[in-house]
Structure 1
């Protein structure tokens, strides 16, 4: 009985202590769109203007809406046949917005809410979001492929792809050894998951994968657009072309490169190699194959969705283990579910309850 009373006293003490602390799950504050979307103040002029369409829906008519339709056409949400270059938010645009929201894991409202506009304005891969494979019914596998599900041919036990850097189309402010090191790490992340090896070749014309930095219209029908906007693009197997926008401020170390618009080279390289191997864009925000990347963000680790998608094409590397990926996915989900300020108090509560149990 005395032990029970002591437990009750301890519990009440903890309870009243917690009443003095900030709520573990505070009410969500409605953000001020004018401050929430300030990341785009370093964005290119065309996409920056999309902030003017915040909270608009079908039936709205605003100058410049035709540019948003071109954006959705560019990334596979509006076909040329249905594209109506007016400034009216029509039924076709609403359908495009809904598909965009579903493809990128956003709340499907059909309206240009703040989350949707923010995502539209983020720098991203130039490849279309149009994808051959639908999401699975259980909602956990969101990877996709190019139409026809192309992949590199050859024996799985002896598949070796060569890559080379363009002798004429490179950047000069990052030393070549550092660029090569970044790409070695990016290729190794994929080869750790699948039975495919990559090796650098000296002969650029004969390499399987050809890497270069290009400006504007560079002859492949997919022009770059200057700082931010489209960061890079790569073609499906077995094309092998891998192009990065030379206008970007590329970085291998954010401690050295202080520019607000700096883009992490390894993150983009890892993403584009996924395309080179045959993956299309994923709707899992944490996945490497998610299409957008904020400036000054490093995102290089494959997630479960990436690995399941690529292994469905090529099989598994015999030495690959899922354990580290699963733990990183779980920890990410935990961090996203609980605000960081509340996390320490949640931990304290768990420890105290463990002590008195």
Structure 2
């Protein structure tokens, strides 16, 4: 009897050893490597993990000249380009600009975010207005347009769903996107209509995918990059099926609000870029689990109306 119990215990241990790492890796943050780099600075000439930091900063628009094919032994070198990129990131997110990966910088970098790069504009735009007495004053606007200012020429847009991955049955996808589209329609002259999934003529194609899904921008699993979208008039909007999505108005701290992320991504589809200097804006690049941002900020509204010349 004792030998059978021992054998059963060994089998359970073996199964756990095989499958538990896979479960843990599925639920790990792809940006976790940043924690080991906290307080790294340029005087640390070579430091394991620097190459991953460089890839991160390149992916999100802060390091322009990084070459993946650097000679062996130099991939983890901390150089002037990296120092400049870290400072640019810190300045963009209104952090203390030191070039050192301090705790605040690492915390910001590790937040789940949109996969669209940040096209950084450090100085906000000043827009002149007049008050009700005719006196001029200025407001600071943080909104940005996708480079080249791409726009839709048609204001009656259609959308459809085409996914390669399953999502939970209780996730009310259509309702979340319908509400997100309606929020943008209310502040513009756009109308949005869903068409059949089989339609090849839809202006906007929405999909849930895992890993590599044919657009050259593979998803990285739970947390990390949540979604990415292309500007007018491509109109694709992809969402990582490995995220723990929720369509409830109160998603809970372990879930990601789909409508909030959809509202952000539709902003990209319409031509808006990220607003790194305004955390309360829908077009801010990051969002936390349990957080909801279902209402457009004044800056989001000003941005989309300015892009389409709406008075």
- Say yes or no: TM over 0.5: yes
Measure, in 2, the Cα distance between the counterparts of 1:212 and 1:42.
21
Structure 2 CA distance for partners of 1:62 and 1:45, relative to 1, 3 Å: farther
Q: Deviations over 1:72-102 (max 9, x none)?
A: 0111111245666622322111111111122
1:273 aligns to 2:266 (yes or no): yes
How far residue 135 of structure 1 moved from its aligned partner, in angstroms, is 2.7
- Residues 1:308 and 2:292 are matched in the alignment: no
Partner of 1:147: 147
| 1:97 match | 86
Question: What TM-score do the two structures reach when normalised by structure 2?
Answer: 0.79
Task: Identify which of 23, 33, 37 aligns with 1:49.
Answer: 33
Q: Distance in 2 between matches of 1:172 and 1:185?
A: 19
Structure 1 residues 287-306: aligned runs within 5 Å? 287-306=281-300
* Separation in 1, partners of 2:39, 2:213: 36
**CA deviation after TM superposition for structure 1 residue 299, in Å:** 1.4
Q: Is the CA contact (8 Å cut-off) linking 1:59 and 1:90 kept in structure 2?
A: no
Separation (CA, whole Å) in 2 of partners of 1:86 and 1:247:
30
Tell me if 1:135 matches 2:124.
Answer: yes
Greater alpha carbon shift after TM alignment, 138-147 vs 235-244 = 138-147
**Contact 2:92–2:121 (Cα < 8 Å) also in 1:** no
2: CA distance, partners of 1:311 / 1:43: 39
Deviations 1:227-274 (A, max 9, x none): 01000000010001010001111111276x66x542110111000000
TM-score under structure 1 length normalisation: 0.70
Bigger Rg over Cα: 1
Contact 2:207–2:237 (Cα < 8 Å) also in 1: yes
* Greater helix share, structure number: 1
Report the Cα offset of residue 174 of structure 1: 3.4
Task: Give the Å deviation of 1:65.
Answer: 1.4
**Structure 2 CA distance, aligned partners of 1:308 and 1:133?**
18
Distance in structure 2 (CA, Å) of the matches to 1:272 and 1:55 = 33
Structural mapping, 1:85-234, within 5 Å = 86-131=75-120, 135-136=124-125, 140-154=140-154, 159-166=155-162, 168-169=163-164, 171-175=166-170, 178-202=172-196, 203-234=198-229
CA deviation after TM superposition for structure 1 residue 292, in Å: 0.7
Tell me the distance in 2 between the aligned counterparts of 1:48 and 1:275.
Answer: 27
Q: Where do 5+ consecutive residues of structure 2 fail to align?
A: 1-24, 127-137
**Is residue 69 of structure 2 the alignment partner of residue 74 of structure 1?**
no
Any conservation in 2 of the 1:82–1:92 contact (CA below 8 Å)?
A: no
